[in-house]
Chain A
Amino acid sequence: MADPGEPHIDMMRSPLGRARGLGAARAGSGHWWAQNVTAIALVPLSLWFICGMIRMIGASRADVMAWLSSPLPMVLMLVLIVATFQHLQLGVQEVIEDYVRTPSRKLVSLLLLKAAAVLLGLLCIVSVLRLGIGM
Protein backbone atom coordinates (compact mmCIF):
# COMPACT_ATOMS: atom_id res chain seq x y z
CA MET A 1 0.00 0.00 0.00
CA ALA A 2 1.43 3.34 -1.05
CA ASP A 3 1.95 6.08 1.49
CA PRO A 4 -1.16 8.37 1.28
CA GLY A 5 1.18 11.37 1.18
CA GLU A 6 2.88 10.08 -2.01
CA PRO A 7 1.49 11.09 -5.41
CA HIS A 8 -0.66 8.17 -6.65
CA ILE A 9 -3.55 7.28 -8.96
CA ASP A 10 -6.80 5.84 -7.45
CA MET A 11 -8.75 5.60 -10.68
CA MET A 12 -8.51 2.89 -13.35
CA ARG A 13 -9.48 5.53 -15.88
CA SER A 14 -7.28 7.89 -17.86
CA PRO A 15 -7.70 11.66 -17.42
CA LEU A 16 -8.41 11.85 -21.19
CA GLY A 17 -11.23 9.30 -20.88
CA ARG A 18 -12.64 11.25 -17.98
CA ALA A 19 -12.50 14.53 -19.90
CA ARG A 20 -14.22 12.98 -22.91
CA GLY A 21 -16.97 11.64 -20.63
CA LEU A 22 -18.07 8.95 -23.09
CA GLY A 23 -17.98 5.97 -20.71
CA ALA A 24 -17.77 2.27 -21.55
CA ALA A 25 -20.44 2.45 -24.29
CA ARG A 26 -18.35 5.15 -26.06
CA ALA A 27 -21.46 7.26 -26.61
CA GLY A 28 -21.82 9.16 -23.33
CA SER A 29 -25.23 10.38 -22.21
CA GLY A 30 -26.09 12.01 -25.56
CA HIS A 31 -28.88 9.54 -26.42
CA TRP A 32 -30.56 9.84 -23.03
CA TRP A 33 -30.22 13.62 -23.06
CA ALA A 34 -31.72 14.02 -26.56
CA GLN A 35 -34.58 11.68 -25.61
CA ASN A 36 -35.39 13.79 -22.55
CA VAL A 37 -35.03 17.19 -24.24
CA THR A 38 -37.43 16.12 -27.03
CA ALA A 39 -39.76 14.63 -24.39
CA ILE A 40 -39.95 17.97 -22.56
CA ALA A 41 -40.69 19.77 -25.84
CA LEU A 42 -43.35 17.20 -26.75
CA VAL A 43 -45.37 17.66 -23.53
CA PRO A 44 -46.90 21.03 -24.53
CA LEU A 45 -46.64 20.26 -28.26
CA SER A 46 -48.72 17.06 -28.05
CA LEU A 47 -51.39 18.78 -25.98
CA TRP A 48 -51.55 21.47 -28.67
CA PHE A 49 -51.57 18.79 -31.37
CA ILE A 50 -54.54 16.97 -29.76
CA CYS A 51 -56.51 20.26 -29.71
CA GLY A 52 -55.51 20.97 -33.31
CA MET A 53 -56.55 17.51 -34.51
CA ILE A 54 -59.93 17.80 -32.73
CA ARG A 55 -60.48 21.11 -34.60
CA MET A 56 -59.64 19.31 -37.86
CA ILE A 57 -62.29 16.59 -37.47
CA GLY A 58 -64.37 16.66 -40.63
CA ALA A 59 -62.31 19.53 -42.03
CA SER A 60 -62.00 20.18 -45.76
CA ARG A 61 -58.64 20.54 -47.48
CA ALA A 62 -59.17 24.32 -47.54
CA ASP A 63 -59.66 24.30 -43.74
CA VAL A 64 -56.34 22.46 -43.26
CA MET A 65 -54.59 24.96 -45.56
CA ALA A 66 -56.16 27.90 -43.72
CA TRP A 67 -55.06 26.46 -40.36
CA LEU A 68 -51.47 25.75 -41.41
CA SER A 69 -50.98 29.02 -43.30
CA SER A 70 -50.99 31.05 -40.06
CA PRO A 71 -47.38 31.34 -38.89
CA LEU A 72 -47.84 30.00 -35.34
CA PRO A 73 -49.65 26.72 -36.15
CA MET A 74 -47.23 26.13 -39.02
CA VAL A 75 -44.12 26.64 -36.86
CA LEU A 76 -45.57 24.58 -34.00
CA MET A 77 -46.44 21.79 -36.45
CA LEU A 78 -42.91 21.83 -37.90
CA VAL A 79 -41.33 21.73 -34.42
CA LEU A 80 -43.71 18.94 -33.43
CA ILE A 81 -42.69 16.91 -36.50
CA VAL A 82 -38.95 17.31 -35.85
CA ALA A 83 -39.27 16.55 -32.13
CA THR A 84 -41.63 13.61 -32.74
CA PHE A 85 -39.46 11.83 -35.30
CA GLN A 86 -36.28 12.47 -33.32
CA HIS A 87 -37.90 11.15 -30.10
CA LEU A 88 -39.45 8.23 -31.98
CA GLN A 89 -36.24 7.03 -33.60
CA LEU A 90 -34.32 7.35 -30.30
CA GLY A 91 -37.02 5.34 -28.52
CA VAL A 92 -37.32 2.58 -31.12
CA GLN A 93 -33.50 2.42 -31.29
CA GLU A 94 -33.54 1.51 -27.59
CA VAL A 95 -36.12 -1.22 -28.19
CA ILE A 96 -34.10 -2.65 -31.10
CA GLU A 97 -30.89 -2.60 -29.05
CA ASP A 98 -32.70 -4.41 -26.23
CA TYR A 99 -34.38 -7.18 -28.22
CA VAL A 100 -32.51 -7.76 -31.50
CA ARG A 101 -29.51 -9.92 -30.60
CA THR A 102 -27.83 -10.77 -33.91
CA PRO A 103 -25.39 -7.92 -34.65
CA SER A 104 -26.09 -7.91 -38.41
CA ARG A 105 -29.86 -7.82 -37.91
CA LYS A 106 -29.44 -5.13 -35.29
CA LEU A 107 -27.40 -2.96 -37.68
CA VAL A 108 -29.87 -3.43 -40.54
CA SER A 109 -32.87 -2.66 -38.29
CA LEU A 110 -31.19 0.48 -36.96
CA LEU A 111 -30.32 1.70 -40.47
CA LEU A 112 -33.89 1.04 -41.69
CA LEU A 113 -35.25 2.83 -38.63
CA LYS A 114 -33.09 5.93 -39.18
CA ALA A 115 -33.96 5.99 -42.89
CA ALA A 116 -37.70 5.66 -42.18
CA ALA A 117 -37.59 8.42 -39.55
CA VAL A 118 -35.76 10.83 -41.89
CA LEU A 119 -37.99 10.05 -44.89
CA LEU A 120 -41.30 10.23 -42.99
CA GLY A 121 -40.19 13.37 -41.15
CA LEU A 122 -39.22 15.10 -44.39
CA LEU A 123 -42.49 14.02 -46.05
CA CYS A 124 -44.40 15.65 -43.18
CA ILE A 125 -42.28 18.81 -43.26
CA VAL A 126 -42.59 19.28 -47.01
CA SER A 127 -46.35 18.65 -46.82
CA VAL A 128 -46.82 21.22 -44.04
CA LEU A 129 -44.76 23.79 -45.98
CA ARG A 130 -46.73 23.12 -49.13
CA LEU A 131 -50.05 23.39 -47.28
CA GLY A 132 -49.01 26.55 -45.46
CA ILE A 133 -47.13 28.41 -48.15
CA GLY A 134 -48.88 26.85 -51.13
CA MET A 135 -45.79 25.91 -53.11
Chain B
Amino acid sequence: MRDARDALMVARNTDGKLVSRPLSPHVLDYRWPLSGLLSGTHRITGLALGIGTLLMTWWLVAAAASDSAFAAVQWFLSSWLGILCLCGWTFALIQHLCSGIRHLAWAAVYGFDKPQYQASNWVVIAASAIGTVVTLIVGFVVW
Protein backbone atom coordinates (compact mmCIF):
# COMPACT_ATOMS: atom_id res chain seq x y z
CA MET B 1 0.00 0.00 0.00
CA ARG B 2 1.40 3.33 -1.07
CA ASP B 3 -1.38 5.87 -0.55
CA ALA B 4 -5.04 6.29 0.38
CA ARG B 5 -6.20 5.51 -3.14
CA ASP B 6 -4.27 2.23 -3.03
CA ALA B 7 -5.64 1.42 0.42
CA LEU B 8 -9.19 1.56 -0.92
CA MET B 9 -8.29 -1.01 -3.55
CA VAL B 10 -7.04 -3.59 -1.04
CA ALA B 11 -9.26 -5.92 1.01
CA ARG B 12 -9.15 -9.25 2.85
CA ASN B 13 -10.70 -12.33 1.29
CA THR B 14 -12.62 -14.97 3.28
CA ASP B 15 -9.31 -16.63 4.30
CA GLY B 16 -8.16 -13.34 5.83
CA LYS B 17 -5.53 -12.87 3.11
CA LEU B 18 -4.87 -9.36 1.73
CA VAL B 19 -5.86 -9.17 -1.96
CA SER B 20 -6.50 -6.35 -4.41
CA ARG B 21 -10.12 -5.78 -5.18
CA PRO B 22 -11.20 -6.87 -8.66
CA LEU B 23 -11.62 -4.06 -11.18
CA SER B 24 -14.14 -3.93 -13.98
CA PRO B 25 -12.64 -2.95 -17.34
CA HIS B 26 -12.55 0.72 -18.28
CA VAL B 27 -15.71 1.84 -20.06
CA LEU B 28 -13.75 2.29 -23.31
CA ASP B 29 -12.54 -1.34 -23.18
CA TYR B 30 -16.02 -2.68 -23.87
CA ARG B 31 -16.91 -3.45 -27.49
CA TRP B 32 -19.58 -1.05 -28.78
CA PRO B 33 -22.71 -2.84 -29.94
CA LEU B 34 -23.42 -1.95 -33.57
CA SER B 35 -26.88 -0.64 -32.69
CA GLY B 36 -25.29 1.69 -30.11
CA LEU B 37 -22.81 3.00 -32.68
CA LEU B 38 -25.67 3.63 -35.13
CA SER B 39 -27.65 5.41 -32.43
CA GLY B 40 -24.68 7.71 -31.78
CA THR B 41 -24.17 8.22 -35.51
CA HIS B 42 -27.85 9.18 -35.87
CA ARG B 43 -27.41 11.90 -33.27
CA ILE B 44 -24.12 13.17 -34.74
CA THR B 45 -25.48 13.28 -38.31
CA GLY B 46 -28.54 15.10 -36.94
CA LEU B 47 -26.31 17.77 -35.42
CA ALA B 48 -24.28 17.92 -38.65
CA LEU B 49 -27.50 18.52 -40.58
CA GLY B 50 -28.20 21.39 -38.21
CA ILE B 51 -24.93 22.96 -39.37
CA GLY B 52 -25.97 22.05 -42.94
CA THR B 53 -29.10 24.21 -42.59
CA LEU B 54 -26.73 27.22 -42.30
CA LEU B 55 -25.48 26.37 -45.78
CA MET B 56 -29.06 26.02 -47.09
CA THR B 57 -29.98 29.36 -45.49
CA TRP B 58 -26.93 31.06 -46.99
CA TRP B 59 -27.76 29.63 -50.45
CA LEU B 60 -31.43 30.73 -50.32
CA VAL B 61 -30.71 34.17 -48.84
CA ALA B 62 -27.95 34.80 -51.39
CA ALA B 63 -30.18 33.73 -54.28
CA ALA B 64 -32.89 36.09 -53.02
CA ALA B 65 -30.45 38.96 -52.43
CA SER B 66 -28.30 39.71 -55.47
CA ASP B 67 -26.25 38.29 -58.35
CA SER B 68 -22.96 38.95 -56.57
CA ALA B 69 -24.12 37.28 -53.33
CA PHE B 70 -25.30 34.24 -55.30
CA ALA B 71 -22.03 34.11 -57.23
CA ALA B 72 -20.17 34.07 -53.88
CA VAL B 73 -22.14 31.10 -52.51
CA GLN B 74 -21.84 29.20 -55.82
CA TRP B 75 -18.08 29.89 -55.79
CA PHE B 76 -17.83 28.49 -52.24
CA LEU B 77 -19.89 25.41 -53.14
CA SER B 78 -17.63 24.65 -56.12
CA SER B 79 -14.42 25.06 -54.06
CA TRP B 80 -12.85 21.96 -52.53
CA LEU B 81 -14.12 22.93 -49.07
CA GLY B 82 -17.62 23.47 -50.46
CA ILE B 83 -17.60 20.12 -52.24
CA LEU B 84 -16.39 18.48 -49.01
CA CYS B 85 -19.32 20.13 -47.17
CA LEU B 86 -21.78 18.95 -49.83
CA CYS B 87 -20.44 15.36 -49.67
CA GLY B 88 -20.67 15.40 -45.87
CA TRP B 89 -24.13 16.91 -46.02
CA THR B 90 -25.28 14.22 -48.49
CA PHE B 91 -23.97 11.44 -46.26
CA ALA B 92 -25.44 13.00 -43.10
CA LEU B 93 -28.85 13.51 -44.71
CA ILE B 94 -29.08 10.01 -46.18
CA GLN B 95 -27.71 8.30 -43.05
CA HIS B 96 -30.11 10.25 -40.80
CA LEU B 97 -32.97 9.48 -43.21
CA CYS B 98 -32.30 5.70 -43.32
CA SER B 99 -31.70 5.46 -39.59
CA GLY B 100 -34.71 7.73 -38.96
CA ILE B 101 -37.03 5.48 -40.97
CA ARG B 102 -35.95 2.63 -38.68
CA HIS B 103 -36.69 4.83 -35.64
CA LEU B 104 -40.20 5.44 -37.04
CA ALA B 105 -40.68 1.67 -37.44
CA TRP B 106 -39.54 1.18 -33.84
CA ALA B 107 -41.95 3.92 -32.73
CA ALA B 108 -44.70 1.86 -34.35
CA VAL B 109 -43.42 -1.11 -32.24
CA TYR B 110 -42.12 -2.92 -35.30
CA GLY B 111 -38.75 -4.68 -35.56
CA PHE B 112 -37.81 -4.13 -31.93
CA ASP B 113 -36.69 -7.74 -31.18
CA LYS B 114 -32.95 -8.44 -31.00
CA PRO B 115 -32.62 -10.59 -34.18
CA GLN B 116 -34.67 -8.03 -36.10
CA TYR B 117 -32.74 -4.95 -35.02
CA GLN B 118 -29.43 -6.74 -35.48
CA ALA B 119 -30.43 -7.49 -39.06
CA SER B 120 -31.78 -3.98 -39.71
CA ASN B 121 -28.45 -2.52 -38.46
CA TRP B 122 -26.91 -3.81 -41.68
CA VAL B 123 -29.85 -2.67 -43.79
CA VAL B 124 -29.34 0.88 -42.44
CA ILE B 125 -25.56 0.75 -43.07
CA ALA B 126 -25.96 -0.63 -46.60
CA ALA B 127 -28.78 1.77 -47.52
CA SER B 128 -26.83 4.80 -46.21
CA ALA B 129 -23.66 3.79 -48.10
CA ILE B 130 -25.41 2.94 -51.37
CA GLY B 131 -27.71 5.96 -51.17
CA THR B 132 -24.79 8.35 -50.56
CA VAL B 133 -22.66 6.91 -53.36
CA VAL B 134 -25.56 6.88 -55.85
CA THR B 135 -26.54 10.47 -54.99
CA LEU B 136 -22.95 11.71 -55.33
CA ILE B 137 -22.50 9.87 -58.64
CA VAL B 138 -25.77 11.29 -60.01
CA GLY B 139 -24.90 14.76 -58.74
CA PHE B 140 -21.28 15.04 -59.80
CA VAL B 141 -20.93 12.67 -62.75
CA VAL B 142 -24.27 12.18 -64.48
CA TRP B 143 -25.90 15.60 -64.04
Contact = CB atoms under 8 A, between A and B. Distances in A.
B50 A92 contact: yes
A55 B139 CA distance: 8
B79 interface: no
How many B residues touch the partner, as a band? 20 to 34
Chain B: interface secondary structure? Answer: helix
7 contacts: A40-B104, A47-B97, A54-B139, A65-B63, A88-B53, A123-B57, A127-B63
B60 A36 contact: no
B11 interface: no
A20 B98 CA distance: 35
Given A43-B97, A46-B97, A54 B138 contact: yes
How many A residues touch the partner, as a band? 20 to 34
Please provide the 5 A-B residue pairs with the shortest distance between their CB atoms, ordered closest to farther.
Answer: A127-B64, A127-B60, A130-B64, A61-B70, A64-B63
A118 interface: no
Interface of B: 43, 46-47, 49-50, 53-54, 56-57, 60-61, 63-65, 67, 70, 74, 90, 93-94, 97, 100-101, 103-104, 107, 135, 138-140, 143
A64 B140 CA distance: 19
Chain A: interface secondary structure? Answer: helix
A124 B60 contact: yes
B97 A95 contact: no
Contacts of B64: 126-128, 130-131
Nearest to B54: A120
